Structure 1
Amino acid sequence: MAGSDSKQTNNSNPAADHTSPYYLNPSDYTRQMHVNEALNDNNYLDWVQEMENFLFAKNKVGFIDGTLKKPEKTDPNHMAWLRCDAMIKGWLNTAMEKEIRTSVKYATSAQEMWSDLQDRFGKESAPRAYELKQLLSMTKQEGTSVSAYFTRLRELWDEITSVFPIPRCSCTGCSCEISKKMSDSRDKERLYEFLLGLDREYSTIRTQILAMKPIPTLLEAYRLVYEDEQQRAVTTGKQTSTDSAAFQAFMKQDGAAAAATQSQTGSKAYKKLNSDKIGHCDFCGKDGHNRDVCFKRVGYPEWWPGKGKPENGRAKAAHVETSSKVNEASQNELSPIPGLNNEQYKQFINMFTVNNSSNVSKPSYGKHGR
């Protein structure tokens, strides 16, 4: 009895029946946005498709295509129809830009508003059709993935289909296949357009597809090209790994050679820097002292080992062990001459002074001298 009462109530009040076009969900309100983008001068085809899908899901298509007429005032569904129509007008207004909304705000019903938009934006436009065809002819893969390239083509094909819909046979029981043949012809045309825009590296798979009997469909050809792309990516990845390993090995060898060269160059630079610091004698040709203190030129001191053997003496003077220098530096005050301590330097100066004094000529007196 309860179920019968409920069914009777639904029949007397269609607005409470979820399957009725007069039903409105409690969460519905007029300022709801049900499309991705508001209607403007350039997106009517996408907009109308989204809006039709939404209204179909809401079971409200009859309000815009004229199949659900406005009931008379005496009809019990009159108020339910008015409420649904007002809700749909609110949805349409919210999904438009302000300029377009202003032009249809005085429409008396959702059907009138829908028809006005269709007359303004839905008619075939020769400039738009030409633009779509031009874009289609210019669309190439150009290094992008096969999937991205096919998606761009698919968007253009869908819009072209909206502008140039395929004629369909509507006769009852017709055995002709006009619609099917036209659909197959369009599919084959798209197949050629897809193959034409592929990059040069897919020339082999393109030739194979065109040589197939019967020729594959568009989706079958897409799968073949996509699989060829995946196989190419695997092969390229292996080659890249091999090239990377070879390059790293080359860089290691080249780095070792560069390090050896740098070491040799640094050693030469170090030697040159030290020779600049300690001086070079242009009299004997040795490093470690200069011309002014060259023993070969000014004479060897008494304490010099191997006195009278200039070559040996010069060699010893030019070569002083580092350990000796460290010991002398720690025990005695360093002298201006490398290799001599302060005491030895004083002896050298005294000897040098004495030798110079003895070489000075004494003044001669005449026979009238003192």
Structure 2
Amino acid sequence: MAETSTTIVNTGNQDPLSVFYIHPSDVSVHQLVLVKFSGSGFHNWKCSMILTLSTKNKLRFVDGSIEVPDITSDEYKYWERCNNLFISWIIVNLDDTIAKSVLFLQTTREIWQDLDDRFGYTSMAQVYSLEQQFLDINQGTDIVSEFFTKIKTIWDNLNDANPLPYCTCKKCTCNLSQILVHQQLEHRVLQFMMKLSEQYSQVRGNVLMMEPLPNISQTYKLFAQEESHKEICSVTNQTESMAFYADKIRFNQNAGNKQQTFYSGNKEQQYPTNTSQNFKADSQNQRRGTKPNYFYSHCKTPGHSMERCFKLNGYPPGFQDRQTKKFAAVVQRDNTS
């Protein structure tokens, strides 16, 4: 035992595995967690601090597993240095008002215990507030990932404020704790789907038909994939609509030109698009017994202009019936001859 104690004293601040070891980067005082504690959300702040202190191998200073060494011992100077450094860490991660209230406490353990006594309690008022937040929350205009983050934050706070009971006697053989946890997770899958908007009703129905129900992470992935699919379809439909609209504008612009292109033989000729003029010219040609020597490039039909092209503008009512009767008359005439 004497040799072990001597080793700790001689190498306590040099051995990376020692609880008294301080890395050069640890000397700089900086904020360890994302948000300073200001009086609300203590459990989240506490969990973040515990994770950070654990990575630095200094969690034993706040959980009370290290006793204060005798002031006359050589080990005391290592402990004192670490203790003062950790006090500065905690103070930096507290709001100014709360930091002043713990500034004159002597050890890291005392500060940690004081904060836990003042802010670490659980009351039914907190549970009520969290339950009310959950009742009021809905997806609204949030995307699936944003909404899932909000609802999961409420679940985590409820777990911290009102955790599920678990077996402490270590003699349970029915796995009641695991059954309760499984039921809670299934219930949260249902809660998540109930709070989503109705545009996901089809995916919701598919999930409810699964046996067993997927866990909450798998359920989130299904709805996130459906959201991505809807976005792709929306962009595709919008692109097609814009292309159709552009074609319509192009057609209207072409129809509004002062001249149209027709073909007479192998030569390209320009004719006015005035419908009355075209009809007048065609009537004159019919009275003379001559056929027009131009045709429209779209349908290749002699005497057709853009306004008179059935293939472009659509067939008039009863056109197909007249064509059928005309064809039948021609066949009957051929048969009688």
Pick the aligned partner of 2:191 from 190, 193, 216.
193
Matches within 5 A, 1:232-311: 232-255=230-253
1:15 matched residue in structure 2: 13
- What one-letter code is carried by the residue in structure 1 that aligns with 2:245? F
Pick the aligned partner of 1:213 from 207, 211, 222.
211
The runs of 5 or more residues in structure 1 that have no matched partner are: 1-7, 261-370
2:146 matched residue in structure 1: 148
| Separation in structure 2 between the aligned mates of residue 173 and residue 75 of structure 1, nearest angstrom | 45
State the 1:29 CA deviation: 2.8
Listed one character per residue, the Cα deviations across residues 109-152 of structure 1 (whole Å, up to 9, x for unaligned) are 11111111111111113333222211112221223321221111
| Separation in structure 2 between the aligned mates of residue 222 and residue 37 of structure 1, nearest angstrom | 27
When residues 17 and 190 of structure 1 are mapped into structure 2, their CA distance, relative to the original with a 3 A threshold, is same
1:272 matched residue in structure 2: none
**3-state secondary structure, aligned to 1:16:** coil
2:307 matched residue in structure 1: none
Query: TM-score, length-normalised on structure 2?
Result: 0.69
State the 1:31 CA deviation: 3.3
State the 1:257 CA deviation: 5.9
Query: TM-score, length-normalised on structure 1?
Result: 0.63
Q: Does 1:115 align with 2:113?
A: yes
**3-state secondary structure, aligned to 2:39:** coil
Matches within 5 A, 1:310-329: none
Is 1:30–1:87's contact at 8 Å kept on the other side of the alignment? no
- What one-letter code is carried by the residue in structure 1 that aligns with 2:48? E
| Separation in structure 2 between the aligned mates of residue 258 and residue 130 of structure 1, nearest angstrom | 70
| Separation in structure 1 between the aligned mates of residue 30 and residue 228 of structure 2, nearest angstrom | 44
1:64 matched residue in structure 2: 62
- What one-letter code is carried by the residue in structure 2 that aligns with 1:94? V
Is 2:9–2:74's contact at 8 Å kept on the other side of the alignment? no
1:5 matched residue in structure 2: none
When residues 30 and 239 of structure 1 are mapped into structure 2, their CA distance, relative to the original with a 3 A threshold, is closer
Pick the aligned partner of 1:39 from 37, 40, 54.
37
The runs of 5 or more residues in structure 2 that have no matched partner are: 1-5, 259-337
Listed one character per residue, the Cα deviations across residues 218-273 of structure 1 (whole Å, up to 9, x for unaligned) are 1222222222222222333322221111122223334556777xxxxxxxxxxxxx
Pick the aligned partner of 2:161 from 160, 163, 171.
163
2:268 matched residue in structure 1: none
C-alpha RMSD of the superposition:
2.5
Q: Does 1:222 align with 2:245?
A: no
| Separation in structure 2 between the aligned mates of residue 72 and residue 31 of structure 1, nearest angstrom | 27
Pick the aligned partner of 2:102 from 93, 97, 104.
104
State the 1:168 CA deviation: 3.2
State the 1:74 CA deviation: 4.6
Listed one character per residue, the Cα deviations across residues 12-60 of structure 1 (whole Å, up to 9, x for unaligned) are 4322211111111233237322122221022323321221111111111
Is 1:30–1:91's contact at 8 Å kept on the other side of the alignment? no
Matches within 5 A, 1:350-365: none
| Separation in structure 2 between the aligned mates of residue 231 and residue 210 of structure 1, nearest angstrom | 20
Pick the aligned partner of 1:127 from 125, 142, 148.
125
**3-state secondary structure, aligned to 2:13:** helix
1:95 matched residue in structure 2: 93
Is 1:44–1:122's contact at 8 Å kept on the other side of the alignment? yes
Is 2:138–2:196's contact at 8 Å kept on the other side of the alignment? yes
Is 2:53–2:59's contact at 8 Å kept on the other side of the alignment? yes
Is 1:63–1:110's contact at 8 Å kept on the other side of the alignment? yes
When residues 69 and 11 of structure 1 are mapped into structure 2, their CA distance, relative to the original with a 3 A threshold, is closer
| Separation in structure 1 between the aligned mates of residue 171 and residue 126 of structure 2, nearest angstrom | 37
- What one-letter code is carried by the residue in structure 2 that aligns with 1:156? I
Larger radius of gyration: 1
| Separation in structure 2 between the aligned mates of residue 69 and residue 60 of structure 1, nearest angstrom | 13
Q: Does 1:138 align with 2:167?
A: no
Identity %: 26
Number of positions where the alignment pairs a residue of Structure 1 with one of Structure 2: 255
| Separation in structure 2 between the aligned mates of residue 30 and residue 231 of structure 1, nearest angstrom | 48
